Amino acid sequence: MSLYVDTSGRATRSVAICDRCHMKMAYDDLAPDGNVPGLRVCGACTDRFDPWRLPARASEQISLRFPRPDSPLTGSSSSESSTSAIAGEAIAGEAIAGVS
Ligand SMILES: [Zn+2]
């Protein structure tokens, strides 16, 4: 291992010290740490980014974009019967269990 860090041919001719391993290396080799951006660390000391710091996963869109109301199962095709069924009124000719 050489005594001096060779910085020739690099963009910055400077030497810096890694904040984790305290090894002297070229300034260009240091980068801010993912979890602690205030630290300038070398590539071997860079932590994996904490997945809890990532944005939350987007939920799936499970609802229909253009829903249509259900058609009644009584077989009647008139819109009045479905309206009265929604309002809770009894339709003539239709027997409701338990109600006379
Ligand atoms: Zn280091």
Domain spans, the chain: 1-49
Q: pLDDT tens digits, residue range 47-60?
A: 988 888 889 888 88
CA dist., res. 87 & res. 48, Å (int): 59
At residue 25, the 3 state secondary structure works out as: strand
Does residue 28 contact residue 11 with C-beta atoms inside 8 Å?
A: yes
What average pLDDT does range 23-40 have in this prediction? 93
C-alpha distance from residue 92 to each of 34, 46, 52, 80, 84 (Å): 71, 77, 61, 12, 11
- Tokens in use for 70? 């259900």
Query: How far does the centroid of ligand 1 lie from the alpha carbon of residue 52, in Å?
Result: 24
Q: Give me the residues near ligand 1 (ion), CB cutoff below 5 Å.
A: 18, 20-21, 42, 45
Q: How far apart are the first and last CA of the chain?
A: 99
Whether this prediction's pTM lies above 0.75 is answered by no
